[in-house]
Structure 1
């Protein structure tokens, strides 16, 4: 006997259509706000001449890296190479998109991680959703993003947020759960409120784990720039996509090298911001 096919795909299509029909105005507001945020950040980055921006980043790297000259020199050399290759404006677009995506992803992920650590029901509801988000092919996220937001940076940002959130949620949850029981008992003994205990005991203790989640979130956001370029997101990912379409090895390699340089700089910065 042949089993009746479960219309999973059709159900998802109905859900997406319903959301678009009933919450279209909210999606438009979100699209306008995020597009303004990306454009504003991009304009702010491009406001500095490449030499001045490179100098600022090198000085910041020197102090963030505990006066490590290698981090400062490496960051400066990488940024100067981007300028030399003519990839400066595209690189700033990529950084603006990545930082905007990571900021919004963390704005959602860290509170969810805290809630899931405090509430077992929320944890058990979130766990299969996070498994789905991490194992679903990233290309699949592009379809509803295009339906809701059209083409451009905004759908790329939305797809990136969904792709980059799970590690930050998991590591925040893990960090809060690994806070030694003795510390929370001492906080309770001193009459701390749940909010005081969270802010003054649990979050500082869990900060290394949370910062690891921040690092992973930023790296995953950057890894999505090429895929997001397929739905109109600009920046270095779009250059890689053009290189693939034209079978232009040089253009694709240069844009890919630019992504690697940005990834290394962002990775080193977040690693040095993590308390040891």
Structure 2
């Protein structure tokens, strides 16, 4: 209970947020519809492309990619079994819907996070200013911003994509900054002494040297995007999270277990493939 002498800041803040959201929705409804359609279009396009690939072709592509990344028959076979499990569980469409949202979200993370990381590494003041913003993006419970995002953009893929972007962007941007800051200044100075311009130094020297750390950030972004896609089923996002949500709503533990098993299979597939492609390559004998 709030003491009488202490103002009730919670209700005041609640009214302020509600008024702000109402003002945005009522004053910019048409623009928000256009933004929602713009965010939804690439997800629909990737989803259509993935669903157009036969299961056998998808499995073969995964096996081939795993073989090229590791050159280990056991690893390639294990990776090929995972999409077969998704198809065998009868959740292939839902898995491709979740995968499409992850692909688009991670692509946006790279497009936005890479410049932010580079700028923060170049400008220490910007890095210090962005640090608390990243902290808020990662520590605020996802449901806190799922509600206003869903009210502004409506239910479906658009708010799910935006919420996933908010959640997955900080680790990639931070590790990009960390990787660039960790480069030996002498190497950069040597590149400048050889006549390379700052942009050439960045592209030819700094980014390649920071590549392992940046790719670790990309791997983290992929897994965080998957986690958020599951939560985003609460605001109408299609995919595996919706299966688990239906199991909960219908008190159907079997359906929830099947959906959870499919999420685990997709998570293992994404994690192991990301590690294989983004991790350090093993030297070949």
- The TM-score, its normalising length taken from structure 1, stands at 0.93
1:213 maps to 2:217: yes
How does 1:22-41 map onto structure 2 within 5 Å? 23-41=28-46
Count of residues paired in the alignment: 275
Name which of structure 1's ranges 245-254 and 157-166 shifts more when overlaid on structure 2: 245-254
Which residue in 2 is equivalent to 1:49?
54
Which residue in 2 is equivalent to 1:103?
107
Name which of structure 1's ranges 242-251 and 203-212 shifts more when overlaid on structure 2: 242-251
How does 1:34-183 map onto structure 2 within 5 Å? 34-65=39-70, 67-183=71-187
CA distance in structure 2 between the aligned counterparts of 1:203 and 1:15, rounded to whole angstroms? 41
Aligned mate of 2:206, from 197, 202, 205: 202
**CA displacement at 1:25 relative to structure 2:** 4.4
Q: Tell me the SS of whatever aligns to 1:224.
A: helix
Name which of structure 1's ranges 100-109 and 23-32 shifts more when overlaid on structure 2: 23-32
Q: Where do 5+ consecutive residues of structure 2 fail to align?
A: 281-285
CA distance in structure 2 between the aligned counterparts of 1:210 and 1:16, rounded to whole angstroms? 36
Q: 1:3-35 CA distances to partner (integer Å, 9 max, x unpaired)?
A: 445444444344434444555444333321221
Counterpart contact for 2:66–2:276, Cα < 8 Å: no
Name which of structure 1's ranges 19-28 and 82-91 shifts more when overlaid on structure 2: 19-28
After superposition, the Cα gap between the structure-2 partners of 1:107 and 1:9, relative to the gap in structure 1 and judged at 3 Å, is farther
**Superposition RMSD on alpha carbons, in Å?**
1.7
1:233 maps to 2:237: yes
CA distance in structure 2 between the aligned counterparts of 1:232 and 1:69, rounded to whole angstroms? 39
After superposition, the Cα gap between the structure-2 partners of 1:129 and 1:246, relative to the gap in structure 1 and judged at 3 Å, is same
Counterpart contact for 2:216–2:279, Cα < 8 Å: no
Counterpart contact for 1:236–1:255, Cα < 8 Å: yes
CA distance in structure 2 between the aligned counterparts of 1:231 and 1:223, rounded to whole angstroms? 14
After superposition, the Cα gap between the structure-2 partners of 1:177 and 1:85, relative to the gap in structure 1 and judged at 3 Å, is same
CA distance in structure 1 between the aligned counterparts of 2:31 and 2:75, rounded to whole angstroms? 43
Q: Tell me the SS of whatever aligns to 1:41.
A: helix
CA distance in structure 2 between the aligned counterparts of 1:235 and 1:148, rounded to whole angstroms? 22
